[in-house]
Amino acid sequence: MFKIAGVINYIVVVFMNAFTDLGHKIIIQNTIFKVYDGSTQIVLTAIVNALVLLPFILVFSPSGFLADRFPKNKIMEYSAVFAVVITLGITYAYYHGYFIFAFILTFLLAMQSAIYGPAKYGYIKELVGVKFLSSGNSAVQATTTVAILGGIIFYTVLFEGMYNDLLITESQILQAIAPLGWLLVIGSVVEWFLASKLPNKMIEASKRDFKLRKYMGGVYLFKNLKTVTRNREIFEAIIALSLFWSISQVVLAVFGEYAKDVLHVTNTIFVQGVMALAGIGIVTGSIMVSKLSRFYINVGLAGIGATIITIIVFIVPFLHSMVLMAVVFTLFGIFAAFILVPLNARIQYLASRVHLGIILAANNFIQNIFMFSFLTITTLFAYFGMNAELLFYLMTFVGIYLVRNLYKRYAVDMFWSLMGLFSTLRHEYIYAGLENIPQDKAVLLLGNHVSWLDWIILQLPLQRRINYMMDKDIYNWKFFHPIFKKGEAIALSPKAFKDAIKEAHKRLQNGSVVALFPEGEITQDGEIHEFHRGYELIPKDYDGVIVPFYIDKGIFGSSFTKYKPKNSKRNIFKRRIVKIYFGKLLPIDIKAKELQDIILKMREKYEAE
């Protein structure tokens, strides 16, 4: 992906934009932290966050229109010019100690980001294409997070270095740290220069015009929201992201006061540093998601991430150590990436090219409506002097609702993601011949049976869900039965054999992928045994093919196989390498003996390599 022209430039532009935006916000927040305490601190911090969120609400329609109507690289370039002007104003405010003016400029800097946002995310699909959509989103998420992390540490350390206890008012503090304003200006200039070098990748522009009267009257608002709600999955993904960001905003808004009052920590480096560890977690999580999504957008990870995030938010009030807080915030970041990367990638994938800007702007709009509402609740809680711990418990209930929504949409995907995480802890799977599996017709997968994990191994690289034919006793396992049923597995038994064949035929007629293991059982000696002819009884009146597969001996000796080679040794610190080969397409009327010979030849060929 990084070999594509413009990718490196784009990543640096994303970094500089986030780094500069956050720098000013951190300076304002640290000033508030030094001057105010208790509920006043929470209220002012919430107002700062609200000033950052409001522009995304106000410019929803214009930003979406611009991203669809004009080249996205040019929008990023002109937004960077705007940022240069704003940061010069911020520097002026610092030198003259104009705290209110600097406060207001937070809003304008966020306005620049709001206009820039849909173009930034829409440009990913244009620049790297659908093939690298998950990787592109992972890179942007990781880069943005590194910028946020770097901005927090960089500007907080410089802020603390310039601050002293004799500075007691906002104006005095701003004047003391005023030279930091020039760093914001330099960052914006670098962003402008690099944005001007980005290639124009626009293929098709929207033909719509923008009329101010319709914008002011809310016509565009309702029309654009209707565009988003037209696709239910896109809308549900946006709601899920909105709930996650709302939880995050409340946690970050409350943690400063919680650390000061409960943990008795007053140094902003420690407070911001712990929160910044969430950034390291997001980078780590984004890399993990990229690897786990190398075949398709792994949306099941979002449900897993939401579950862990909910647990973390619940346990925070029970922790009274900054070390434990550091661990928890790092984990928070890792599993935040599990939500952010796949859902953002999924939205971009499902959105049409012409409406991509509007949908991404709507994503920002709805997310910020949610975050603004939750910050309002946080401010009210602080104003009435309510305990910060109560907010953590309230966010736990929001997290439970988020998990419920993701489970309803992605239950089967969550199961396969969990199985993938579980199996890849001990094994590394290498696939060959995936291009042999067609995407537009029925497929009957037939091959050797080496372990209890074969059904997971075959599914991991395929976005199309496999309808497995499995022994009825396994199908009825108490824990897995609901998943097998939802995953549309086909129960197989001697008494109900005809019904199973009939059901498999029906699935194939509908264009599904059906898989079974003709040996009928897991090999106990490492050999490929006689293939039963049961699959031959499936009627041949469907549009499909047979794809043979061979799973190599790499898994033999593990806890999940029946065959344990005499010289095999277990090493808990070393992952087993398992290779899976998918052969060339075969006609659906191929006989069992001929199929077995083909798979034996596959074994002979690939194990000789």
Residue 154 has which token pair?
A: 């960089």
Are residue 81 and residue 93 in the same domain, yes or no?
Answer: yes
In a domain, 2, yes or no: no
In this structure, how many other beta carbons lie within 10 angstroms of the beta carbon of residue 11? 19
DSSP string, 212-229: HHHHHTTHHHHHHHHHHH
SS3 334: helix
Strand residue runs (E) in 266-365:
none
The answer to which of 77-81, 254-258, 293-297, 332-336 has the lowest mean pLDDT is: 254-258
Residue 114 has which token pair?
A: 């709001």
Stated as kind and residue range, the H or E segment containing 416 is: helix 388-424
pLDDT for the residue 598: 93
As a whole-number percent, the residues of the chain with pLDDT over 70 amount to 91
Residue where the block lists tokens 């150590």: 321
pLDDT for the residue 405: 93
pLDDT tens digits, residue range 431-460? 999 999 998 899 999 999 999 889 889 999
Are residue 377 and residue 447 in the same domain, yes or no?
Answer: no
Residue 166 has which token pair?
A: 């004799």
In a domain, 464, yes or no: yes
In this structure, how many other beta carbons lie within 10 angstroms of the beta carbon of residue 147? 24
Are residue 133 and residue 64 in the same domain, yes or no?
Answer: yes
Are residue 494 and residue 352 in the same domain, yes or no?
Answer: no
Are residue 251 and residue 286 in the same domain, yes or no?
Answer: yes
pLDDT for the residue 218: 62
Residue where the block lists tokens 């390498």: 577
Q: Determine the longest span between alpha carbons in the chain, in angstroms.
A: 88
In a domain, 540, yes or no: yes
Are residue 303 and residue 409 in the same domain, yes or no?
Answer: yes
Higher pLDDT, 568 or 162: 162
Stated as kind and residue range, the H or E segment containing 64 is: helix 60-69
Residue 565 belongs to domain with CATH number? 3.40.1130.10
In a domain, 1, yes or no: no
Q: 3-class secondary structure for 512-579?
A: CEEEECCCCCCCCCCCCCCCCCHHHHCCCCCCEEEEEEEECHHHCCCCCCCCCCCCCCCCCCCCEEEE
pLDDT for the residue 212: 63
In a domain, 200, yes or no: yes
Residue 485's domain comprises: 427-607
pLDDT tens digits, residue range 317-331? 887 777 888 899 899
Are residue 417 and residue 442 in the same domain, yes or no?
Answer: no
Are residue 335 and residue 436 in the same domain, yes or no?
Answer: no
The whole-angstrom separation of Cα 92 and Cα 250 is 31
Contact 160, 268 (CB under 8 A): yes
Are residue 480 and residue 534 in the same domain, yes or no?
Answer: yes
pLDDT tens digits, residue range 328-375? 989 999 999 999 989 988 988 888 777 777 787 778 788 878 887 887
Of the residues 407, 424, 441, the one at which a domain ends:
424
Higher pLDDT, 358 or 392: 392
The number of folded domains in the chain is 2
pLDDT tens digits, residue range 18-64? 888 888 888 888 888 777 776 677 677 777 777 777 777 777 777 77
Are residue 332 and residue 437 in the same domain, yes or no?
Answer: no
- Closest CA relative to residue 324, chosen from 285, 274, 371, 255: 274
Alpha-carbon torsion, ordered 448, 450, 455, 459, to 10 deg: -70
Q: Provide the β-strand partners of residue 468.
A: 515
DSSP string, 100-122: HHHHHHHHHHHHHHHHHHHHHHH
In a domain, 315, yes or no: yes
Does 246 score more than 60 pLDDT? yes
Residue where the block lists tokens 């897995």: 480
Q: Name the average pLDDT for the chain.
A: 83
Residue 367 belongs to domain with CATH number? 1.20.1250.20
Residue 165 has which token pair?
A: 């206890």
Residue type, 9: N
Are residue 294 and residue 305 in the same domain, yes or no?
Answer: yes
Contact 332, 281 (CB under 8 A): yes
Does 215 score more than 70 pLDDT? no
The whole-angstrom separation of Cα 229 and Cα 231 is 5
Of the residues 397, 424, 451, the one at which a domain ends:
424
Residue 349 has which token pair?
A: 């994938």
Higher pLDDT, 565 or 457: 457
The whole-angstrom separation of Cα 202 and Cα 73 is 9
Are residue 415 and residue 474 in the same domain, yes or no?
Answer: no
The whole-angstrom separation of Cα 546 and Cα 598 is 12
End-to-end CA distance of the chain: 29
pLDDT tens digits, residue range 141-172? 788 878 877 887 788 888 888 878 777 787 88
pTM here is 0.74
Of the residues 402, 424, 446, the one at which a domain ends:
424
